[in-house]
Structure 1
Amino acid sequence: MRAEVWERDTSPSRRRLLGLAGGGALLLAGRRSAGVGAGAGGSGGSGSGGSGSYAGHRTRPAAPEGVLGANFNEEPRGMTASVLGDLRTRWVRGFVAMPELDSVEAYRQPAIRALLSFAGSGHGTVLSLKFPHRTTPLPQPGSSAMDEELARVDMALGAVLDKVDVLAIGNEPFLETRDEDRATLLNPFYKALPHT
């Protein structure tokens, strides 16, 4: 587990976040890493943005402006409400490797299931969609391989839209992409993702 400090860029809706990716943003979030460490920032209950009704049945924590957030990456075991309480944060982030959705329904995938549970208990949530292509070429828009990626995105969106607070298209895309694809395929691939 890692603790990070997040800043708020805007007050985005999920559909707006997806649209931003088409404009070239690889990481869609009100999240910019501003530092790492348990002593930085403040509690998840502080910051601007206030609370309010979210999707008609839960209260959102304050926007993640200068607050401490917890990150479990893809392994949510051990991340509990009591751990978040000890960290004095209301925000938690994880990612899902998209190929996992070929064998596990999105809402049953461990990271998504954990984030939906945290969201249901009033925590702020950030989900990153990870496209692991370290050893395989990035699919080209219009190809059948790209259609497979877009179908996975649709599955993830069906499980999390209007439930998680921030959806990020990509998780360390440069590290998840072969060196030879970074200059030619990286941007077209990520630009095509939000157009599902």
Structure 2
Amino acid sequence: MNQKSATANPASGFVAFDGDRCIAFGDLRSVARTAKEVLGRRAQSTILVFDPNSGPVDLDFRGSLEDVLARLPDTANAPLAISEPAGAPPRGPGRPKLGVVAREVTLLPRHWEWLARQPGGTSVALRRLVDEARRTSKDKDRIRHAQETAYRFIAAMAGNKPHYEEVARALFARDAGRFEAWTKDWPADVRDHARRLAAAAFEQDASQTSVAS
């Protein structure tokens, strides 16, 4: 989707702003296409594109639309790189280990000794530990990711807006009421997108409030 729509969720895709106005959201190619079209009509436009998981995306809009699209990063569809650890024996016939990525891990001797004693060996134990940590830290990771993503957006788009510092403090304090109050006078598209990105940072408090009531 390259135009705004009531049925789409701009917090889950790439977003392009022309000044304070949201001009497109969706996949990167469609957003870049719309941004290039806007620049074609208004060369003085200031276009910023945001990745939903990181922050501003540095796109090169020089040349034709085909030139712009050809230069887009293609990380979303890149396959996982699969490598073997150094000195590993050749893999015999049979089903390949799809999605397994071998990378260097540095541990102390006592860590290697403990891992070697675990059922299934070192690799199985490490995967089990990582999965357990992901489960136990899921809420914290979600909140931290929402805070960091929202902060990168407001730092780029609202650094000169009223109450910017108060908004940032409310975001990291996870104070939804103050965050909403301090952003109410911001331009509508900037305000609404900042609130969408920050929403997950406040979800836990909202659920606890609903239970208490």
**TM-score scaled to structure 2, two decimals?**
0.25
Report the structure number with the largest CA radius of gyration. Answer: 2
Higher helix proportion (structure 1 or 2): 2
Larger RCO (alpha carbons 8 Å, 6+ apart)? 1
